[in-house]
Structure 1
Amino acid sequence: MRIGLLTEGGYPYASGEAGLWCDRLVRGLEQHEFDVYALSRGAQQESEGWVPLPPQVSRVRTAPLWDTEDDGVVYGRRARRRFADSYAELATALCATGFQDPSGGPGEASGTEADRFASALYGLAELARDEGGLPAALRSETAVRALERACRAPGAQRFAREARVPDLLAVAARLEHALRPLSLDWYEADGLGDVDLCHAASGGAAVLPGLLAAHFHGVPLLVTEYGVRLRTHYLREPDSPAAPRALLAAFQGRLATETYRRAALITPGNTHARRWQERCGAERHKVRTVHPGMDAAPFAEAAEAPECADPHTLVWVGAVEPAKDLVSLLHAFAEVRREEPGARLRIVGTPAGPEGAAYLAHCQGLAAQLFPDEADGPHAVGDNPVSFEQTGGPELPTRADAYAAGAVVVLSSVVEGFPAGLVEAMFCARATVSTDVGAVVEAIGGTGLVVPPRNPRALAEACVALLRDPERRERLGAAARARALELFTVEQNVTAFHGIYLEILSRTPVRHPVPDDPGVPLPFAVPAEAHVPGRWTDTTAPAAPRGGPGWAKGAPVRATAPASVGEGAR
């Protein structure tokens, strides 16, 4: 089977989101052939190069999302009219009532507007294929004026009517960036038209090539989302101007609706993401929850020696940023110290960008204020009850060592998708205290304590309860490791996708039939499992008649059937 793996800002680049997951998937499915189509996020990511690729990756094609060079395409009058009509239809679909509800959350997309958005999207894609590209047209005054007319038209939503010229310019620029994949040269018969299945590793820009492969060539599409792009948009831009934020949310919502409608199957990474997908139009019979696969081996040693942990230490591990709410954790730990004076807190993590660095400095200052008489500063391990550390040093060489450094692992986030760090703690057989956000409850099941977010007192009470009860910690830790090994390993993830690939191909008509000598397509000549070892797959050997000498000896036999069964016989 030949898979077109579609990524954005990840695999095969050495740095990027979901790159490790894609690498594990490709290496685990060595019986298939992969063509990787990757969208890069920036010049720095491209300069860092690729990860080593396994032999089953036969082709890699890349394109930058960050490059804004003029494509040099000049439209004639007819092409300009086609663009104006399609873009106006797209803008009308974004401004019309039917997707964004007044509270700012996702709403149900009407069938009419969903069809209008799809018609506009594929109209722009066909124009890009005929004329050689869209970027110049998407940045033109024609696009901005079409967006303005749609916002001022009768029936447009309130947020669209309130958009001013700077808002329209900002939205047009963001739409140009989001629609860049429409102008790529990936959609020919020898490109994505030549694969058996497109697998998009995320929503958003990565899924657009898959939609166009389905539109132009009928290639089935599988969409995997561990974080729904519409939800991410709401979380990342809470303070942006209302009109651009709402218009761009409408675009992400319409794109998600079209993605789920066209996809053969959708694989969310957790039930939390699945609820968002269903709200955006995903049909339940198309959805298969597949938890992300993680490597349990690096954490086995920590799991086998839980008695080495400091029984009075709490550990937090992760990327330092405001969404992790370390402020609440520090206030909770102040209450823990009043109940358990010997308790310690080790915060292990690196800041996530400039915002994370500023937040880390704020948290260090808060720790110094909360514990002023206990040490000279919040940095030295062993002097202050709170320490700020990073992995890679002599104290904590790996993340497994960080989890093993304490008796209880704490997660204090106010926003979380799938809590990968929490699963790592489960692999280490650690008892956990977590806030009830994202997919936390789904991940831990009943193997840890869960408290409301932004509630330092509840967080402190749960931590104290586990610090005082070593038997309960051991029991919860053992249950957590058993659950993680059952649900969240690489092997589980790869096996699930192997079955999903076969399921999709079993319901897809054969698009590349294999002919016999006279040129007649051979039914069952290209099975979905094209690389199963065994002599029976060798169709070049002469067939032995059923019941003859060769049959008893296991000679290869060529299947025969009426020509009518060739359609969909994969």
Structure 2
Amino acid sequence: MKICLISEGAYPYVTGGVSSWIQSMITNMPECEFIVYSISSKETDGMKYKYELPSNLLELHDIFLGSYIDKEIQAGKRYAITETEKEAFLSLIGGDETNWQVLFDFFVSGKIDSILNFLASKDFFDIVRALCEKRFVHIPFTDMFWALRSMVLPLFLCIDQKMPEADLYHSVSTGYAGVLGALAKHQYNKPFLLTEHGIYTREREEEIIKADWIKGYFKDIWIDYFYSLSHCAYASADKVTSLFEGSRRIQVEIGCPEEKTAVIANGIDINKFTVQNRWTKETGVHIGAIVRIVPIKDIKTMIQSFAIVQQEIADSYFYIIGPSDEDKEYYEECVELAESLGIRNLVFTGEVNVHDYFSFLDLLVLSSISEGQPLVILEGLAMEIPYVATDVGSCSELLLGTYDEYGQAGKIVPVMHFHLLANEIINLVRSTELRKEYGRNGRNRVEALYTLPGMIKRYKEVYEKGVKVYGGHWLSAERTI
């Protein structure tokens, strides 16, 4: 069986949850062959792989969305666009329902010679003018032209790809990866599985609302556009999985047909986490965070909380464990913030073997603005280390045991509330017995519900069923596979 995995901006150049998940999927299904399409906004030439590529990974394709920068443009062309094709383009922005099948056929037909030439063509000019006349009369044409061009360029560059033929296509998000999965299904009539680790549309919506570079009246247009991309993936996918029940409910709320949805939780190799290897340092309390230093992880809130913790607990030590090169500007801001707050004993470790830190940490912290089902929480709990985490994704489910009886394994606080985060850290630091109880509860939960063999078994079943029965209706009323 040949599987084509499609992801955005992750594997194999960046470590983290999705990349680790992809590596686990490939290495633990040696009987399957894999192709990976990795969509990135950053140039990958010269970047080192963060993972050793498995032997059953046949092909790795990088789609760099900035590859157009140095290309020449021939403006003013005509491409004999039909009225149906024009309406499909119009429906992409501000329309009620996008005709994706017409758009896919347009790009794979070879009708245009270059995406950049098309976006500088008289046809595209006419499309923008029609949009302004029909739907956006209050927006200046020039603003609309350049905004629309920047909006659709990454999408069109993706759709313009020659997708390889596989037995099944598996997108690891909606957005551009989800549209590529829909395109592959359209081209080859093969099953398409969609897995969301987080709710892509909601994450993009949060980013757009906060973005300074998007003018106010364009924010709604951008948000609607990303919802359109998600609807494309939901409509085309034969099966849509999420990592936990709360995420599945949001998918249905956004517009995914409920009968397509199911839950497959993340899993870890519990045998790699040996509690007997833990030891206690002679002095101090040691608090860690295993995290990429990027804005969505909200490292600044974490640092502010550490400053409060240190005021109350003088012999506290802090370790921010993870790569700092993904967003160097943000990393520098975090370092400056820590220095301005006068925090002692704070270490940015960079990329290290996290097991070296699991061996002695007393407590772990996660302050993210958005998450799916964090593998780092599962790993920490497997080592019987309790967590304090923000109320995002499935963090509450993992730490409070919403759907099981294994007991509490940590504390949950609201997003961006560094005072509350600090208070819960302080409370747990002062109670060794509570930390031990939470750690045991967490280990029991992971052993029972979140193992790697269990996760791989579920995906194998979905793959095999999809390939076997495709041509009929690949649906199931079962919510948790």
Global fold match (TM > 0.5)? yes
One of 206, 209, 215 as aligned partner of 2:186: 215
What is the aligned partner in structure 1 of residue 29 from structure 2? Answer: 29
What is the aligned partner in structure 2 of residue 438 from structure 1? Answer: 393
Q: Deviations over 1:206-225 (max 9, x none)?
A: 23332223223321111122
Q: Which stretch shows the higher mean deviation, 27-36 or 57-66?
A: 57-66
* Cα shift at 1:47: 5.2
Quick one: distance in 1 between partners of 2:129 and 2:451? Answer: 50
Quick one: distance in 1 between partners of 2:73 and 2:300? Answer: 51
Where do residues 365-404 of structure 1 align in structure 2 (5 Å cutoff)?
Answer: 365-368=339-342, 378=343, 384=344, 386-391=345-350, 398-404=353-359
Q: Deviations over 1:245-275 (max 9, x none)?
A: 3323222211211211111101223345434
Quick one: distance in 2 between partners of 1:64 and 1:337? Answer: 43
TM-score normalised to structure 1 length: 0.71
What is the aligned partner in structure 2 of residue 423 from structure 1? Answer: 378
Q: 1:231 to 1:49 in 2, by over 3 A?
A: same
Q: Deviations over 1:403-444 (max 9, x none)?
A: 444322222334434333322321221112222223211232
Quick one: distance in 2 between partners of 1:124 and 1:280? Answer: 28
Q: Deviations over 1:123-150 (max 9, x none)?
A: 4335x44556544213434324412421
One of 117, 136, 147 as aligned partner of 2:99: 117
* Cα shift at 1:497: 0.6
One of 236, 248, 257 as aligned partner of 1:262: 236
User: 1:90·1:120 contact (CA, 8 Å) conserved in 2?
Assistant: no
* Cα shift at 1:480: 1.0
Q: 1:354 to 1:59 in 2, by over 3 A?
A: closer
What is the aligned partner in structure 1 of residue 67 from structure 2? Answer: 67
Where do residues 162-181 of structure 1 align in structure 2 (5 Å cutoff)?
Answer: 162=139, 165-181=142-158
Quick one: distance in 1 between partners of 2:57 and 2:303? Answer: 47
* Cα shift at 1:390: 0.5
TM-score normalised to structure 2 length: 0.82
Percent identity among equivalent residues? 20
One of 289, 292, 314 as aligned partner of 1:316: 289
User: 1:86·1:123 contact (CA, 8 Å) conserved in 2?
Assistant: no
Quick one: distance in 2 between partners of 1:314 and 1:143? Answer: 55
What is the aligned partner in structure 1 of residue 132 from structure 2? Answer: 151
SS for the counterpart of 1:288 is strand
* Cα shift at 1:494: 1.4
Q: Which stretch shows the higher mean deviation, 197-206 or 471-480?
A: 197-206
User: 2:81·2:123 contact (CA, 8 Å) conserved in 1?
Assistant: no
Q: 1:480 to 1:148 in 2, by over 3 A?
A: farther
What is the aligned partner in structure 2 of residue 81 from structure 1? Answer: 81
Q: Deviations over 1:29-70 (max 9, x none)?
A: 122233444445443346546955444344555554332165
Matched, 1:283 2:257: yes
Q: Which runs of 5+ in 1 are unaligned?
A: 97-112, 369-377, 379-383, 511-570
User: 2:35·2:57 contact (CA, 8 Å) conserved in 1?
Assistant: yes
* Cα shift at 1:297: 4.9
Q: 1:315 to 1:42 in 2, by over 3 A?
A: closer
What is the aligned partner in structure 2 of residue 564 from structure 1? Answer: none
SS for the counterpart of 2:170 is strand
Where do residues 1-150 of structure 1 align in structure 2 (5 Å cutoff)?
Answer: 1-11=1-11, 13-15=12-14, 18-39=18-39, 41-45=41-45, 48=48, 52-60=52-60, 63-68=63-68, 79-82=79-82, 85-96=84-95, 113-114=96-97, 116-126=98-108, 128-130=109-111, 134-150=115-131
* Cα shift at 1:165: 1.8
* Cα shift at 1:320: 3.1
Counterpart of 1:136, as a letter, is N
One of 444, 464, 469 as aligned partner of 2:426: 464
What is the aligned partner in structure 2 of residue 556 from structure 1? Answer: none
User: 1:196·1:220 contact (CA, 8 Å) conserved in 2?
Assistant: yes
Matched, 1:252 2:229: no
* Cα shift at 1:399: 1.6
Matched, 1:501 2:478: no
Quick one: distance in 2 between partners of 1:60 and 1:344? Answer: 41
What is the aligned partner in structure 1 of residue 444 from structure 2? Answer: 482
What is the aligned partner in structure 2 of residue 102 from structure 1? Answer: none
User: 2:198·2:371 contact (CA, 8 Å) conserved in 1?
Assistant: no
Quick one: distance in 1 between partners of 2:62 and 2:306? Answer: 47
Quick one: distance in 2 between partners of 1:41 and 1:273? Answer: 26
Quick one: distance in 2 between partners of 1:405 and 1:197? Answer: 43
Q: Which stretch shows the higher mean deviation, 421-430 or 338-347?
A: 338-347
Q: 1:438 to 1:362 in 2, by over 3 A?
A: farther
User: 1:144·1:172 contact (CA, 8 Å) conserved in 2?
Assistant: no
Q: Deviations over 1:358-410 (max 9, x none)?
A: 32233223321xxxxxxxxx4xxxxx3x4233156xxxx52223344432222
* Cα shift at 1:205: 2.2
Q: 1:399 to 1:36 in 2, by over 3 A?
A: closer
